[in-house]
Amino acid sequence: MLTILVIDDERSILQSMEGILSDEGYQVFLADNGKEGLEICEKEMPDLVLLDIAMPGMDGMEVLKRLKESLPFIPVIIMTGHGSIDLAVKAIKLGSYDFLEKPLEMDKLLLTVKNAIDFGKLQRENLLLKQKIERQHNLIGESPAMQTLRKQIEQVAPSDAWVLIFGENGSGKEVVAHEIHRLSQRGQKPFVEVNCAAIPEELIESELFGHEKGAFTGATSSKRGKFDMAHEGTLFLDEIGDMSLKTQAKILRILEEQRFERVGGNKTIQVDVRVIAATNKNLEEEIKRGTFREDLYFRLNVIPFTVPPLRERDEDILLLADYFLKEFTENRGKPLKTLSDDAKSALLAYSWPGNVRELKNLMERLSIMVPSDTITPKDLPPEMVKKTGLHPLSFSQEPIFDADSIKEAVSLFERNYIIQKLKENDGNISKTAEKIGIARRNLTHKIKTYNINVQREVLEA
């Protein structure tokens, strides 16, 4: 049942409002002063507040101000017998939904109440949607690489500088772009994304710049383009390296002038957008091949960012896995699933060619397909376990070493695994790194971290 709180110092008004609103199916709470009204709000969280202005002690304006500070998404309708334009304007500026003069007209009151409740519901839904979107674009990770990336984002975001993000497929370039936008002065304005690789060349101009009715076959109405939609906000050009040279030339002109014409139109549209671009390609190599314009590269590459692949931030693998498992099980209303120690070891040993996207997809699959609450190596894809150099049957049901914590157990497993792979490759670090799918410098770092003596523990063992 929808609930309404009426705050008014006149007993007759309270009784009258209670009768009218109860007959309409609302549950009604009553308060004859501002202090009591605020207490009821905190306790009952009503769907709407009807608030009188002229009250002894704390007046309605003060109550409105406090309500909007603590419970901003509860709509408030102001009621007063001393209406004025100045008072109405002040109430609206403080956040009231509407302003009604006494004596109240019943039809107008009930219509305003219904509209205000619908408005409050829409605001709450938008808040939940915004929170869900923000969770989807969280930067998860505590590795040194991620800490450095966060500092760079915090430093660059407040400026209007253009950013070019490099990184492998699935590494999280879009998440970085969202975070830059969220922390910028444009954070409350639109974030418009264009996947340059997914739009056919013959349609990309229409997508970016819009078109007028009749501009081409099938253009039955005018359409705003992505540049227009991103006005005062951020335009994210994902996979910019896949854009054709013809479109690159047009993009360059618009980026420099911040104005354009729609396809089939002659009206110049002025825009103010911050551009963030991303690519999984080496654009300097593409320039040498003649597939990417050098002038566009220098225009976009004001501040370069590099998102590290997951194999170079293995400290984050388990953190991400737990985060995704929690997200997927909560969304489905299911009990939380956890990874066994052996499953964690397998995840750490895998090279993750698909990066964070591959890990996220795997966790979603496991959250749905694994019937038990604990995920073990036998639940993992065979090709994943095979690439680790292990086999599901090789995971013991009993501890194979003594460790006081999961973190220590994982470290012991990884150390033993590296020693075993070095033995298989006669202590050759470069060959071992290639076989297990990590960069040589990362393997060298792990060897130092785990204090592995290659001569004694590998070659002489």
In a shared domain, residues 150 and 291: yes
Instruction: Provide the token pair at 87.
Output: 């008072």
On whether both 32 and 83 belong to a single domain, the answer is yes
- For residue 335, is it within any domain? yes
| Cα diameter, the chain | 97
Does residue 282 share a domain with residue 148? yes
| Termini Cα distance of the chain | 74
Task: Answer yes or no: do 221 and 365 share one domain.
Answer: no
Preceding omega of 72 cis (within 30 degrees of 0): no
Residue from 194, 151, 213, 197 nearest 176 by CA: 151
Q: How far apart are CA 316 and CA 298, in angstroms?
A: 33
Nearest CA-CA partner of 24 in 1, 40, 47: 1
Which amino acid appears at position 449 of this protein? Answer: T
DSSP 35-47: HHHHHHHHHH--S
Most confident by average pLDDT, 6-20, 196-210, 239-253, 405-419: 6-20
Residue type, 140: I
Q: Which of 252, 286, 308 is the last residue of a domain?
A: 308
- End of a domain among 133, 156, 184? 133
Could you give the angle at which helices 34-44 and 60-70 cross, rounded to 10 degrees? 20
Say if residue 246 is in the same domain as residue 120: no
CATH, residue 13:
3.40.50.2300
State the residue for tokens 């590296």. Answer: 418
Residue-wise pLDDT for 322-349, tens only, equals: 999 998 998 888 889 999 988 888 898 8
pLDDT band at 136 (very low <50, low <70, confident <90, very high): low
Residues 91 and 55 in one domain: yes
**Average pLDDT for 369-387:** 85
Number of neighbouring beta carbons within 10 Å of residue 51: 26
Report the interhelical angle of 406-424 vs 440-449 (nearest 10°).
Answer: 120
277 within domain boundaries: yes
Q: Per the domain annotation, does 212 fall within a domain?
A: yes
Is 138 within a domain? Answer: no
Q: How many CB atoms lie within 10 A of CB 439?
A: 13
- Comparing CA positions, the residue from 180, 89, 190, 170 lying closest to residue 130 is 190
Q: What pLDDT was estimated at residue 216?
A: 84
Q: Total domain count for the chain? A: 3
**407-416 average pLDDT score:** 79
Q: Structural domain of residue 115, as residue ranges?
A: 3-133
Return the CATH number at 300. Answer: 3.40.50.300
pLDDT tens-digit readout, 58-112: 989 999 999 998 888 899 999 987 766 677 778 888 899 998 988 889 999 999 9
Query: Are both 174 and 319 inside the same structural domain?
Result: no
Give the DSSP H/E element, type plus range, for residue 192.
Answer: strand 191-195
Is the model's pLDDT at 398 over the cut of 50?
Answer: no
Least Cα distance to 314 among 274, 353, 350, 262 occurs for 350
DSSP-assigned letter for residue 25: T
Give domain status of residue 345, yes or no: yes
User: Strand ranges (DSSP E) for 36-115?
Assistant: 48-52, 76-80, 98-101
Which CATH number is 422's domain given?
A: 1.10.8.60
User: Is residue 168 assigned to a domain?
Assistant: yes
Residues 239 and 331 in one domain: no
In a domain, 351, yes or no: yes
Count of all residues that appear for the chain in the document: 461
Q: Average pLDDT in the 50-64 region?
A: 91
Cα 405 to Cα 6: distance, rounded to the nearest angstrom: 56
Q: Are 33 and 114 part of one and the same domain?
A: yes
Identify which of 41-50, 81-90, 441-450 has the greatest average pLDDT.
41-50
In a domain, 193, yes or no: yes
Looking at the structure, tell me whether residues 31 and 91 fall in a common domain: yes
Last residue of a domain, one of 101, 133, 165: 133
| Residue 218, pLDDT above cutoff 90 | no
Task: Identify whether residues 8 and 106 lie together within a single domain.
Answer: yes
Q: Tokens 């523990």 label which residue?
A: 457
Angle between helices 106-136 and 11-23 (to 10 degrees): 70
| Tokens, residue 23 | 């007959």
In a shared domain, residues 247 and 334: no
Each residue's pLDDT tens digit, 150-178: 999 999 999 999 999 999 999 999 999 99
State yes or no: pLDDT of 285 exceeds 90.
Answer: yes
Cα separation, 364 vs 362, whole angstroms? 5
